Amino acid sequence: QVQLVQSGAEVKKPGASVKVSCKASGYTFTSYGISWVRQAPGQGLEWMGWISAYNGNTNYAQKLQGRVTMTTDTSTSTAYMELRSLRSDDTAVYYCARVDPVVAGYDYWGQGTLVTVSS
């Protein structure tokens, strides 16, 4: 069965970086894209960006350009999202999601990773 398993919760200081992993199993990793979505406490869903696991092409949300990098390791079927220069308003649950190439919907999601930014 398809699974996306994310790394554990992180606590970071303002200005630091965080790297969240998303290990995929149960499907051919390179046949799908991965998107990253975050959700601040009590708030809605915010799209952060997308990466093709096939060729590594990326597209990031404009507001995060320059601070976010998404990568994949096809040898381990793992996607990564790194966010730099963390601020308190980056405190959120971060999700990875598989992107169905046919319908472009997010058909499987990771369990979420809470990143807390606090001094």
Partner 1 sequence: DIQMTQSPSSLSASVGDRVTITCQASQDISNYLNWYQQKPGKAPKLLIYDASNLETGVPSRFSGSGSGTDFTFTISSLQPEDIATYYCQQYDNLPQMYTFGQGTKLEIK
Which residues form the interface with partner 1 (CB under 8 A)?
33, 35, 37, 44-47, 50, 52, 59, 62, 95, 97, 99-100, 103-107, 109-112
- Tell me the C-alpha to C-alpha distance, in Å, between residue 34 and each of 12, 13, 65, 119: 24, 27, 17, 31
Smallest gap, in angstroms, from Cβ of residue 95 to partner 1?
6
Distance CA 10, CA 117 (A): 8
DSSP 88-100: GGG-EEEEEEEE-
Q: Which of residues 52 and 116 has its CB atom nearest to partner 1 in the complex?
A: 52
Q: Which of residues 8 and 105 has its CB atom nearest to partner 1 in the complex?
A: 105
Q: Which of residues 12 and 61 has its CB atom nearest to partner 1 in the complex?
A: 61
Q: Which of residues 9 and 45 has its CB atom nearest to partner 1 in the complex?
A: 45
Smallest gap, in angstroms, from Cβ of residue 85 to partner 1?
22
Distance CA 53, CA 57 (A): 8
Q: Which amino acid is at 82?
A: E
Smallest gap, in angstroms, from Cβ of residue 7 to partner 1?
15
Distance CA 110, CA 24 (A): 9
Smallest gap, in angstroms, from Cβ of residue 15 to partner 1?
28
